[in-house]
A and B are shown apart, each in its own frame.
Chain A
Amino acid sequence: MRFFVLKALTRGVVIDSVRRKDLWVVAILGLLILLSASLLGFFGLDGLQSFVKDLATSVLGIFTTIIAVLVSGRMMPDEIKNRTLYPLLARPISRWELLVGKWLGAVAVTWISFGLLLVTTSLALALFRVPFEPVMLQYILLKMIGLAMLCSVTLLMSLLMTPAGACVMSLILAAGTGMIVRAMTMAFEFASPPVQFLFKVLNGLLPQYGLFDVGDRAANSGWGPAPLWVVGALLGYAAVYSLAMLVLSWARFRRQAI
C-alpha cells in the first residue's frame, strides 16, 4: 500500500466534498445549535449546565454519525454511477488501495465536519459558561476513532446493497447495536446455552459504536475521563474491526466487474 496513492485519493474526496457544499450543511447545523442554545438561555442557567452539555454531546454525536454514514455510503456507489472508477482503476493502483483511499477520504471529511460542529458546539457551551474539561478531549478522541470505524462499516454496506440501503443499515447498526446489546445483557441470564452462545457471537460481530461515546461522562458532573487502558482497548478494537470491514469490502470488490 503506497502512501502517495492514499494521499491523492483522500485529497480528491475532501476537495470534492468541500466543493459540494456538504460542509456548508454542517456549518448551518452548527449555527442552528448555537441558535437553539441561546434560546435555552430563557429558561435560566442554573441546573441547565448538565442538560446543555448532554444536548451538545448528543447533537454532535447524532449529526456526525449521520454525516459519517452519508459520506462513506456514497463513496463507492458514486464512483460506479459516475463511471469515475474507470479512469481511476486504469491507473496503476490496486483495488485495495482504492478502497482504503476512499475510506480515508470519508474519514477525513467526517472528521472535518466533526471539527466544524465541535467549534460551534464549544461556542454554544461557552454561552452557558460551561468549562472545557479534560473528559471533553477524551470524548473528541474516542468519537473520532468510533466515526472512522463506522465509515468502514458503511463502506462495506455500500458494496453489498444500494446506497440508500447501505445508509439505513449503517444507521440501524450505529444506533441499534447498543439496544441489541442491552437486550442481550438483560436476557442472557435467562437464555438457553445455545442462545447464550448466539448472544456472544452477535456481541462480537456487531459494531460496538456506542462504546466510543463518553458524552454522558462529559455531561454529568464528577465523572472524569475513562482510564487510559480503555482508550487503548478501544483504539485496538476500532483498528481490528475497521480492518476486518475493509478486508471484507475488498473481498467483495476485488473481482467485482465494473
Chain B
Amino acid sequence: MAKSIPWIPLLALIGAALAGMGAHRLQEPLRPATEVAGLNAHETHAGATLLGQFRTNISAWLWLRTDRYLHNGVEMRPLTDQELAAGQMGVGTSDNHEKDLHDDSAMRTVVPSQSEDFRGWMGDVERATSTYKDMTNHGHNSPKTALPLFRLMTWLDPHFIRGWTTGSAAIGWGRVPGSEVKMMAYLKEGLEKNPQSVAIHMELGSVKVRRQRDFRGAIPDFAAAIRYGGPNLEKLGPDDQEALQDAFRWKTLCHREIGDYEGKVASAKAGLQLFPEDSLLMRLLHESPLKTVPGQKTPDRVEIPEEEEEHH
C-alpha cells in the first residue's frame, strides 16, 4: 500500500507549499531599498512571480476599466504630442471631481468623431457599435459606484497604491457624515500592507486635515511620508513624488496652524531643498511669524482649501 503512494513528488509538493507559505516572512528583509520609498513593490521585490505580475496587471486593468465606468463606457485617450503642438484641445469636463482620475482637459475620445475620421462608413459603424458619444464638456458617474472595484483592486494586489488612495476618496465622496472614519480605516488597512508608502501616509494626513481639521494629529503622517520618500526622491514614481511634495506643503501648513513657527520654517526649508521651485512652500516660508497665530486672517495668508473634493 505504502509503495503505491508517490512519496517523493508528494513530499516535494508539500515542501514547495511550505516554502511558498513561509516566503512572505523573507520578503520584508529582502525587499530593496527603493521599495522603502513606496515604489511599486510588486514589480521589484523578489516575490514578483508570474502570479504576482498577473494580479498586478489585473489591478492595473481594473483601474483603467474604472475610469471607463466613470465615463459610462466611453473610452478616452490623452492628446498626442502632435495634437497638443497643433493647439488642439481636450474635451473638458463639466464637473471638477477626481481630477487625477480623469483630468480631461487634455483628453479626447478614442473613437474619433465623424469629422475627424477618415474611415467613412466603417467609422460610422464603429461609432454606432462602440460606446461613443460627443464628450465635450462631459460629466462623470459618481465614484461611489466604483467602490467595490477599488476594493477588488487592492484585494487582488495589496501593493496597488492608487487603489488605496483613490478608493479612500471614493469612500469620502459626497461628504457623507462619518465617511472620514471609513476613509481612514481603509487607508490604515493600506498602510498595513504598504507601511512605507509615501502616497498613503500623505493621504491619511490629508484626510485628517481636510475632514477633521486635526492639524496636530496629521503631522506624524506627513512626517512619515517625508521620512520614507525624502531620501529616495529620484527613485520615486510620479505619484509618490507628487505625494511627497504635498506632504511637505501640508506639514508646513499644519505647523503654522498649531502655532509652531520654527516647525513651519524647518518644514518649508526641507521641502524647498527637494522642490526648490515650489512657490507655495516659498510663500509659506516667507510669511511673517505673526501669520503663524492660529485663526489669524491676512490678505497674503496661504489658506487651507476646505470645500474642494479630495484629490490625489
Partner-B contacts on A (CB < 8 A) = 40, 43-48, 50-51, 54, 142, 181-182, 184-190, 196, 199-200, 203, 208, 210-214, 216-217, 219-223, 226-227, 230, 233-234, 237
Contacts and interface: CB of A to CB of B under 8 A. Distances in A.
A212 B129 contact: yes
Given A185-B119, A199-B118, 17 more contacts: A43-B151, A44-B147, A44-B148, A46-B147, A48-B149, A51-B62, A51-B149, A186-B77, A189-B116, A190-B86, A216-B131, A220-B131, A221-B72, A223-B73, A230-B125, A230-B129, A233-B121
Contacts of A188: 118
Nearest to A50: B69
Nearest to A48: B148
Given A217-B131, A223-B131, A226-B128, A43 B119 contact: no
Interface in B101-134: 110, 112, 116-119, 121-126, 128-131
A140 B151 CA distance: 31
B144 interface: yes
A214 B73 CA distance: 11
A185 B117 contact: yes
A141 B196 CA distance: 51
Nearest to B118: A188
Contacts of B54: none
A54 B65 contact: yes
Interface of B: 62, 65, 68-69, 72-73, 75, 77, 80, 82-83, 86, 110, 112, 116-119, 121-126, 128-131, 144-149, 151-152, 155
Most buried by A among B77, B124, B131, B148: B148
A55 B147 CA distance: 17
Contacts of A226: 128-129
B173 to A, nearest CB: 12
B110 A182 contact: yes
A40 B152 contact: yes
B82 A181 contact: no
A47 B73 contact: no
A210 B130 CA distance: 9
Contacts of B77: 186
A142 B152 contact: no
Contacts of A234: 125, 129
A14 to B, nearest CB: 30
B147 to A, nearest CB: 6
20 contacts: A43-B155, A44-B147, A44-B151, A47-B144, A50-B69, A50-B73, A51-B62, A51-B65, A54-B69, A188-B118, A200-B118, A203-B122, A208-B122, A211-B126, A211-B129, A212-B129, A220-B68, A220-B72, A222-B72, A223-B73
Which 4 pairs of residues, A with B, have the shortest CB-CB distance? A220-B73, A47-B145, A43-B148, A216-B131
Contacts of A200: 118
Contacts of A40: 152
A103 B18 CA distance: 50
Contacts of B126: 210-211
A208 B120 CA distance: 14
Nearest to A200: B118
A141 to B, nearest CB: 12
Most buried by A among B75, B128, B149, B152: B128
B34 to A, nearest CB: 31
A219 B66 CA distance: 13
Contact of A186 (B75, B80, B86, B145): B80
Given A51-B65, A200-B118, A226-B128, A219 B155 contact: no
A187 B116 CA distance: 11
Nearest to B130: A216
A182 B132 CA distance: 14
A220 B69 contact: yes
Nearest to A203: B119
B148 A47 contact: yes
B102 to A, nearest CB: 15
Nearest to B133: A223
Contacts of A187: 82
Contacts of B128: 226-227, 230
